[in-house]
Amino acid sequence: MTRRTEDALIVGGGLAGLSCAITLAEHGLRVRVIEAAPRLGGRAGSFFEPRMGQWIDQGPHLLIGAYRHTLDLLRRCNAEHLVHWQSSLQLPLWDPQRGRFALHPSPRLPLAIALPRALAMLPGHSFASVPAMLRLRFGQAGTHETVVQWLQRVRAPHELVRDFLEPLCLAAMNEHMDTANARSFQRVLVTAFANHAHARLGWFRQPLGLCIETLAKHARSLGVCITTHTQINGVSHRAGMTVLRSQRGEEFRAPHAVATVPPWHQHRLSAPVATPASNPITNIHLWFDEQLRLPYPFIGGLGTQGQWFFDVSAQTRQRSTGSHLCVVISAFHAGNKRTLVDQACSELARIMERKKLPEPCHSRVVCVRRATVLVRPHLPPNLPTGIVDSMEHPAPGQLPATIEYAIERGKQGAERVLARCQH
């Protein structure tokens, strides 16, 4: 049995775990990250697609300029170049009746003026959206109110809900408006549309798994030890030390330990708990032998089964004669895969204004069944003595489970450890 001692142990090697480890190491602590999987990244990781000979994400990700913790971590790791940012907000949309159009607030006006004006000028809209936007911005959403109840209360026009608020709710909350928490959704709106710098969108230039490797390389340069293929199955607290035991009988000990694993793995650290509410995300990856390009790197679908259509080849700047497209459906369990692929190809063809797309040379439907933990009231988890809680359980009023939330909770876990070190 091997015994090792650090200043802090991090259980979980996803974005939260790496964020926590890097923050602690920057303050001079000896840190070890313990991950059960063969690779770091968790649900934000990538996998190798042997048929196409490339690494791909489970699904594409969009970032917003308001992700200050994400931006800060990338800067500290010299990884800012991994993200491409719009110069200003441009949200391309497609509707079966209205075709292609885009929400593009003028960057020459303050966003508080430019956004309502841009919404009012969308096809089928009017300036009735302007007072509704003000009510959304300054009226307080209820802690236990759903998004539907809140939008009804503030009298949001149907077209504003259909073309802007509903797609944004699905994208940010991974939950339909009739159950999504209004207080957290309001925080998304206020945070994301505070100004032009916050409202712009960005995406990774390469598979997220390779970005994770960049963060891990920086962590190692700070002295962080990373242990993979190691599942923690037991916790004890002896003489002021937290002792973690692996499934192989190995022991890791430190004065402090931080749990960043998804809450459904909490039973490995404490008594069994109720499984938190979560929703899936289904991603339909399509590869074609010829170059097929969307008119934008991504397009939001209205009145379509697919909610977001990504030109992965354009986003990652792949130099190839073929193309890789991906269709994302939030809060959706994958059904018949052949039907999903056919429907995705049909919707893509209409967006591209083509009669039909060629048959994909390869396709893969990836359903992340527990993609995000939903915003719900929760009780503090009953973790053993010495374990700091940085697990994913967003409460009403907090940001929903996003990349930003993961990096933020990792940093907060590190700050709690640092506060303990001072006492």
pLDDT band at 4 (very low <50, low <70, confident <90, very high): low
Q: In which element (H, E) is residue 220 found?
A: helix 208-221
Alpha-carbon dihedral sign for residues 164, 168, 170, 176: negative
Q: How far apart are CA 86 and CA 202, in angstroms?
A: 6
Percent of the chain past pLDDT 70, that is, above it, reads: 99
Structure tokens at 409: 């909770």
Q: Is the pLDDT of residue 12 over 90?
A: yes
Report pLDDT for 418. 97
Q: SS3 of 253, please?
A: strand
**15-26 and 208-221 helices cross at what angle (nearest 10)?**
20
Q: Is the pLDDT of residue 1 over 50?
A: no
Range of lowest pLDDT (163-167, 177-181, 332-336, 379-383): 379-383
Give the pLDDT confidence of 288-335 residue by residue, as tens digits. 999 999 999 999 999 999 999 999 999 988 777 899 999 999 999 988
Q: How far apart are CA 92 and CA 118, in angstroms?
A: 12
Q: How far apart are CA 271 and CA 177, in angstroms?
A: 33
Report pLDDT for 384. 86
Q: How far apart are CA 325 and CA 202, in angstroms?
A: 17
Instruction: Show the 3-state SS of 273-308.
Output: CCCCCEEEEEEEEEEECCCCCCCCCEEEECCCCCCE
Domains and CATH numbers, the chain: 3-48+207-277+375-421 (3.50.50.60), 102-196 (1.10.3110), 278-373 (3.90.660.20)
pLDDT band at 340 (very low <50, low <70, confident <90, very high): very high
Q: Is the pLDDT of residue 402 over 60?
A: yes
Structure tokens at 227: 């242990």
Q: Is the pLDDT of residue 394 over 60?
A: yes
Q: Is the pLDDT of residue 3 over 60?
A: no
Percent of the chain past pLDDT 90, that is, above it, reads: 85
Structure tokens at 320: 């190839």
Q: How far apart are CA 255 and CA 237, in angstroms?
A: 9
Averaged pLDDT of the chain: 94
Q: Is the pLDDT of residue 274 over 80?
A: no
Structure tokens at 208: 């997220």
Q: Is the pLDDT of residue 178 over 90?
A: yes
- Mean pLDDT along residues 21-35: 98
Under 8 Å between Cβ of 312 and 304: no
In terms of Cβ atoms closer than 10 Å to its own Cβ (0-12, 13-18, 19+), residue 338 is exposed
Give the pLDDT confidence of 243-272 residue by residue, as tens digits. 999 999 999 999 999 999 999 988 888 867
Structure tokens at 404: 């930003």
Give the pLDDT confidence of 41-100 residue by residue, as tens digits. 999 889 999 999 999 999 999 999 999 999 999 999 999 999 999 999 999 999 999 999
Q: In which element (H, E) is residue 244 found?
A: strand 241-246
Q: SS3 of 352, please?
A: coil
Q: SS3 of 123, please?
A: coil
Q: How far apart are CA 288 and CA 323, in angstroms?
A: 5
Q: Is the pLDDT of residue 224 over 80?
A: yes
Under 8 Å between Cβ of 147 and 182: yes
Q: How far apart are CA 301 and CA 231, in angstroms?
A: 40
**pTM for the predicted model, two decimal places:** 0.94
Residue 279, beta-bridge partner list: 372
Residues 6+ apart with CB under 8 A from 110: 195
pLDDT band at 137 (very low <50, low <70, confident <90, very high): confident
Q: How far apart are CA 153 and CA 74, in angstroms?
A: 40
Q: Is the pLDDT of residue 220 over 50?
A: yes
Residues 6+ apart with CB under 8 A from 172: 185, 188, 192, 400, 402
Structure tokens at 318: 């792949």
